[in-house]
Structure 1
Amino acid sequence: MQFAIVLYPGFTSLDVLGPYEVLGRLPDAEVVFVADEPGLVRNDLGSLSIDVVATLADVTAPDVVVVGGGPGQLEQMSNTGLHEWLRTVDRNSAWTTSVCTGSLLLAAAGLLDGRRATTHWAGLDQLAGFGVTPSKQRVVIDGHYATAAGVSAGIDMALTLAGLIAGDDVAQAVQLVIEYAPEPPYDAGSVDSAPAAVVESAMSKLSG
């Protein structure tokens, strides 16, 4: 089974590397990073790059598509080549998925019209403008679309997908291999639980 993970300049690394760690451990998995052009693609922090060998044109029939988010997503909203590729491969994909603001790219390509989806909390209101029903759930499954909320939720989405693809036992084994048993030291992982000052600080960082 081929998993195609889309990259573009300014991607958020955990958006794609979280699902990579999970999905790449499934039986007979082939993971390929794809981009407009081959070469190094740098993340949003500027200190990590992934060397992409395959272009979008090289990958024509992936079984699963993963689109991450990040500040670079804004520029990709007008990338008609990427949108056309997403629409084309979506016709035959078993799953088309996103993490964080990657769902806005799926929405811009017209794939989520009339469906439920989630994204990073700061971008949730934008989904409605594309005919999507926004959800605050961490992972949303609607048809063959799986969308995850912000960044770390990509691991949850990938484990959910792993269970649907390979069965619960395999997914749980992968969870154990990566020792995914989060016990965060703070209860500030959502807008609903974070103190108001923390939300304000986070908004400032995102807008900067």
Structure 2
Amino acid sequence: MAGDTTTQQTRTTQGNGPQADAAAHPMDVGMLLYEGHTTLDFVGPHLAFASAGMRVHLVSHSLDPVASDSGLAVLPTVTLQDCPADLDILFVPGGRIDEVLLDRAKLDFLAHHGRTASYITSVCTGSLALAAAGLLDGYRAATHWATRDQLARFGVEVSNERVCVDRNRATGGGVTAGIDFGLTLVARILGEDAAKLSQLAMEYDPQPPFDAGTPEGAGPDVVARFAEFAAATFGERIDETIARAVSRTLEQRAGAQS
């Protein structure tokens, strides 16, 4: 990760790559962390943003280490309360998102900053959290292929694209789509040349050893094995959590319309 610096008494991670000084007034990115996140969901975008000279804030309820779904711990740089008020980019990674879907403080954080952020974004199942916070109403969005049905339950128009951009909502598909998402957003904000420089700096030239990154490519046998793994890992918990989150979201919509 990029080196830490101190800005207005807030710890941030800011790029020290080829474009670190590209902007006189660096953009602020707020990336929400939570227990059970998938680290690769935000590391790819983090690298793209930081190498483009943006200030990246890793946000959590405290500054204690936050464990990922694989056990890797990440140090937040700012708390929910101390996050900069005017974020240019609000971002949620995927992972075991059920913890966020029922966390009032995190959903309030997303809803609050979503009212002013220039771009509201996610990768993988992070879009479920955006939907639960009411930030995808009337927008198209992408998510991990295995959770498209769950995202649709929030009333969101689900996209099968690897990176979906609908006005100022930008959402990536599963995990590795985060790099494509990050570069796409950098290009949209700072131009293609800036994105190409970031891509070259990370030598992003993917050549996967297998055509198994989608259900169509992997085939039914591999998809069935993944389904068994997902059922054993999440069981009925995610369905129950989605049902509760959807119910609350619908109630809030009805209240706002009355």
> Shorter-normalised TM-score: what interval?
over 0.9
What is the letter of the counterpart of residue 129 of structure 1? R
1:203 equivalent in structure 2: 227
- 1:150 has 2:167 as partner: no
The 8 Å contact of residues 65 and 93 in structure 1, kept in 2 or not, is answered as yes
Match of 1:6 among 32, 47, 70: 32
CA displacement at 1:3 relative to structure 2? 0.8
Partner of 1:40: 65
Q: Secondary structure at the match of 2:165?
A: strand
1:99 maps to 2:115: no
C-alpha offsets along residues 47-83 of structure 1, whole Å, 9 cap, x if unaligned?
Answer: x111113111111221111100102x11210111111
Report the secondary structure of 1:192's partner residue.
helix
1:94-173 aligned at under 5 Å gives the runs: 94-173=118-197
1:66 aligns with 2:84: no
| Cα deviation, residue 200, structure 1 | 1.2
2:218 to 178, 189, 194: 194
Which of 67, 76, 82 lines up with 1:52 in the alignment?
A: 76
The alignment partner of 1:154 has SS state of helix
Of structures 1 and 2, the larger Rg is shown by 2
Question: Contact 1:77–1:105 (CA<8 Å) still a contact in 2?
Answer: yes
Q: C-alpha distance in 2, partners of 1:82/1:61?
A: 17
What's the CA shift for 1:33?
A: 0.2
Aligned partner of 1:30 in structure 2 is: 55
Structure number with higher relative contact order (C-alpha < 8 Å, ≥ 6 residues apart)? 1
Native 8 Å contact 2:138 2:156 kept in 1: yes
Q: Partner residue of 1:185?
A: 209
Residue aligning to 2:20: none
Q: Partners of 1:179 and 1:141 in 2: how far apart?
A: 24
Look up the match of 1:16. Answer: 42
Provide the C-alpha distance between the structure 2 equivalents of 1:203 and 1:107, rounded to a whole number of angstroms.
24
Measure how far apart 1:205 and its partner are: 2.1
Cα separation, 1, equivalents of 2:152 and 2:220? 25
| Aligned with residue 85 of structure 1, among 89, 109, 125 | 109
5+ long unaligned stretches in structure 2: 1-26, 234-258
Distance 1:205 1:125 in 2: 18
Number of corresponding residues: 205
> How far apart in 2 are the matches of 1:125 and 1:182?
28
Partner amino acid, structure 2, of 1:45: S
Q: Which runs of 5+ in 1 are unaligned?
A: none
Identity of aligned residues (%): 42
- Structure 1's consecutive aligned runs of 4 or more residues displaced over 3 angstroms after TM superposition are none
- One-letter amino acid matched to 2:214: S
CA shift at 1:206, angstroms? 2.3
Q: Which amino acid aligns with 1:18?
A: G
Separation (CA, whole Å) in 2 of partners of 1:126 and 1:147: 15
**2:224 aligned counterpart, secondary structure:** helix
CA contact (8 A) 2:35 2:99 kept: no
* Counterpart-to-counterpart distance in 2, 1:49 and 1:127: 28
Verify the 8 A CA contact 1:38 1:53 in the aligned structure 2: yes
Aligned-residue Cα RMSD (Å) equals 1.0
2:228 and 2:178 map into 1 onto residues whose CA distance is 23
Of stretches 54-63 and 179-188 in structure 1, the one that deviates more from structure 2 is 54-63
Aligned residues of 1:139 and 1:149 also touching (Cα < 8 A): yes
Deviation at 1:173, TM superposition (A): 0.8
Structure 1 contact 39–53 (Cα < 8 Å) conserved? no
